[in-house]
A and B are shown apart, each in its own frame.
Chain A
Amino acid sequence: MVPGSGHGTNSSRILIRIALTLLLAGAFTALLSTSDYSFGAIWAYRSLLLKGLLLTLAATAAAYVLGFGLGIGVALLRLSRSIVPRHLGDLYVEIFRGTPFLVQLSLFYFGIAPMLGIDSKFLIGTVSLGLFAASYSGEIIRAGIESIERGQVEAARSLGLSRRQTMRYVVLPQALKRMIPPLTGELIALTKESSLLFFIGVVELFAVANQAGADTYLYLEAYIVAGFCYLLINIPLSLLSRGLEKRLSTSKTPGDHL
Chain B
Amino acid sequence: MTKTLTIDGVTIPFEDGQTIIQAATAAGIYIPHLCHNPEFTPHGSCKLCTVKVNGRNCSACTFPAMDGQEVINNAKDLNADRQKITQMLFVEGNHFCPSCEKTGNCQLQAVAYHLNMLDDHFPLFYPHRELDASHEEILIDHNRCIFCTLCVRASHEQDGKDVFAISGRGINKHLIVNSETGLLKDTDISASDKAAHICPTGAILIKHTAYQVPIGKRIYDHQQIDQVTLNSESEHDK
Bound pair (A, B): no
Binding site for B on A (CB under 8 A): none
